[in-house]
Every structure is written in structure tokens, then in C-alpha cells.
Amino acid sequence: MRTYNFDGYDLDYFGARVTEITGLEGLKARSLDRTTWPGQHGSQPNRLVLRFQDREISMFLFFESISMLARQKASQFRALLYPHGRPVRLTIADDETGEVLSYDLDTISEEISDFVYNDMAEVQLKFVETDPIKNVYICNSSSASIAIASNNALEISWGDKMLSEDLFTGTYTHNYEDGKSLHYIIVSGVIEEATITGLTLLYTVRQ
């Protein structure tokens, strides 16, 4: 059984459960850059630089609303999908294996509206993860420090709705003020060409 959490709220709180989710599998590669030369057949691809497309996630939720309170909670959930100036954090925990997956997502479409919740409905949400190549770290203290060596800009999502963007070589420290003892930190970008130290690596996504 999996537990789905949006920005710190389990879906159970909103009276919803996931009936289907797709897009968690491997990423699609971008088309290779190609150079054509006068007088030559075909093209010359650049095979040394491999980059991947955004991750697109589709999620079907089943809502059952039989009271005004249930409809209010459904409206609260909808508000979570569009945080100002940052992505929404989706955390998926497998209750049997203990595996935890974290995604920073932007909502690209949803079919939720007030009338849907009069009885019950299954609705579809679509999200995009624009920084799918990443390391995910675990932090169980009140502060985190990450040392980065990189010629490419990286992004740190600290796990408490705070982002640090356009980071190059340096040491970055963050203090937590949300009262939680556990955070999942996402460092994304051209990770394969960077050196990152200072935290316990939970897992990495390369493709």
C-alpha cells in the first residue's frame, strides 16, 4: 500500500484515494543535437551530451463527498495544487518496503470543480516535473548543509516549501522552522557532472 502526500498533507485527510498513477517510470531522452555538413550524407549527432525530457505524471483520484466538510476539504486540496512561486511537493511512501519517492511538480491540468463533489467522482490530475534528474537526500536535523562543486546551475528544494535556485560551486546551509524532524531534500540539474556532499543520499534519478 502506498501513502500519497501533497505539501505535508496525506490524501486521506481530503477524503481521496489514488486509483491509478502513471509516469513514475523511466524518462524519455531528448532528440540528439545533429550537425549537417555540406556535401555529406545524413548528419553528425552529438552523442556525448544526453539530456532528458520533463517527467509527466498522470494521477486519477477518487473522491467521495457526502457532507459540507468533505467538500470543503476537497476545495482545500485543489488550493494545494497551485502554490505561489514554487512547485508542489508530492511524496509517495510504500508502507511495505519503506521506499520513499519525492517529486517537485507543477500542475498542468485538472478536472476538479465544485459541482464534482456533490456525490462522488473520479478526477484526473496531470503534473510535470521540470527537473527530473536529481539526487534525493534525507535530513533528520533542524538544519542542513550541502557542499556543491558544479559548473552548471543546480537547484535545491529543501523539503519545507523553500527553494534555492541557480546554485554553482559553494556550500549552502538551510535552517528549518516548520517544527518537523524529517525532510527530503531534492538537488536537481546536471547532477552527473557535479560533486555533492554533506547529506545522506536516499536515491538518485539519472534517466
Burial of 140 (0-12, 13-18, 19+ CB in 10 A): exposed
Is residue 140 left, alpha or beta, with left meaning phi > 0 and alpha meaning psi from -120 to 50?
A: alpha
Terminal CA-CA length for the chain: 25
pLDDT digits (tens, 9 = 90+) for 98-157: 999 999 999 998 875 544 445 566 788 999 999 999 999 999 999 999 999 999 999 999
In this prediction, residue 186 carries a pLDDT of 98
Q: Give the chain's largest Cα–Cα span.
A: 73
pLDDT digits (tens, 9 = 90+) for 45-97: 777 778 889 999 999 888 766 566 666 777 788 888 999 999 999 999 998 89
Q: How many angstroms separate the Cα of 76 from the Cα of each of 57, 70, 72?
A: 21, 10, 6
